[in-house]
């Protein structure tokens, strides 16, 4: 069921209530993304979109996502638009294709899992990105999309301090849970689940602020989530 089945008016209160119920039924609270990623890709063939993660300098790090996926998956193919970095990774033995993941390109392969790690907020056309991922899904495959939460309380602290918020200079947009539902609908897939990543604050100040907020807000309020992980299915 789509919100358009409730009303043609996207700001209708009935649509609002419908989306609240939809999101509540799909929300799963999660503390760390690493275990979730490992479970998602282990034992599956994987297409990893945006493997470079901004800069080639950190690929030797144990935290580099593509290396983790390569260790867990049965097969992994990477995709990125950075020509020099793709050449370097292929020279190192990785299988990375120089492809725009918002294009109509078909790699001619199908994967049980597609991972889009912190890419969707960078692209001009998020629907085309999800369409590209869906095009490469095997039967019963799943897409994982991670993206920052624009309403995290630490972002508000930056606004208080600086008067505005400056994200990664390449970011084009934010994707909140209700927007994920709409993007999925337009891309011909559906939102299966989503995970607000509510972890323990690292700094003493942030832990103190969270304690204050908990007086008036519930434990699972998404203001505590640093990021979202969305799972899409056909």
**Every domain of the chain and the residues it spans:** 28-233
CATH of 28-233 among 3.40.50.150, 1.20.120.1200, 3.30.2310.20, 1.10.3720.10:
3.40.50.150
CA–CA distance, 117 with 145 (Å, rounded to integer): 6
Q: What local confidence, expressed as pLDDT, does residue 35 receive?
A: 87
Instruction: Kindly give the residue spans of alpha helices, DSSP state H, lying in 63-152.
Output: 65-72, 83-91, 126-135
- 7 in Cβ contact with 176 (< 8 Å): no
Q: In terms of residues, how long is the chain?
A: 234
Q: Mean pLDDT by 10-residue block, N- to C-terminus, for the chain (234 residues)?
A: 94 97 91 81 97 81 90 97 94 96 98 97 97 97 96 83 89 96 98 88 63 69 90 96
**Predicted TM-score (pTM) of this structure:** 0.91
């Amino acid at each position: 069921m789509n919100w358009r089945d409730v009303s043609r008016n996207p700001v209708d209160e009935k649509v609002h209530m419908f989306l609240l119920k939809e999101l509540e039924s799909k929300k799963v609270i999660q503390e760390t993304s690493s275990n979730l990623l490992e479970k998602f890709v282990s034992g599956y063939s994987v297409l990893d979109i945006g493997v470079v993660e901004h800069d080639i300098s950190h690929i030797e790090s144990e935290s580099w996502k593509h290396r983790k996926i390569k260790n867990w998956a049965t097969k992994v193919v990477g995709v990125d638009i950075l020509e020099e970095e793709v050449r370097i990774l292929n020279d190192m033995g990785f299988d990375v294709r120089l492809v725009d993941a918002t294009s109509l390109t078909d790699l001619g392969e199908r994967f049980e899992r597609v991972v889009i790690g912190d890419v969707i907020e960078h692209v001009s056309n998020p629907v085309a990105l999800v369409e590209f991922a869906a095009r490469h899904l095997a039967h019963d495959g799943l897409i994982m999309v991670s993206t920052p939460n624009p309403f995290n309380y630490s972002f508000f602290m930056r606004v208080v301090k600086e008067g505005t918020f400056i994200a990664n200079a390449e970011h084009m947009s934010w994707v909140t849970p209700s927007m994920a539902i709409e993007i999925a609908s337009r891309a011909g897939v559906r939102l299966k689940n989503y995970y607000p990543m509510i972890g323990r604050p690292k700094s003493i100040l942030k832990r103190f602020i969270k304690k204050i907020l908990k007086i008036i807000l519930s434990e699972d309020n998404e203001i505590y989530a640093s990021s979202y992980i969305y799972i899409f299915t056909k």
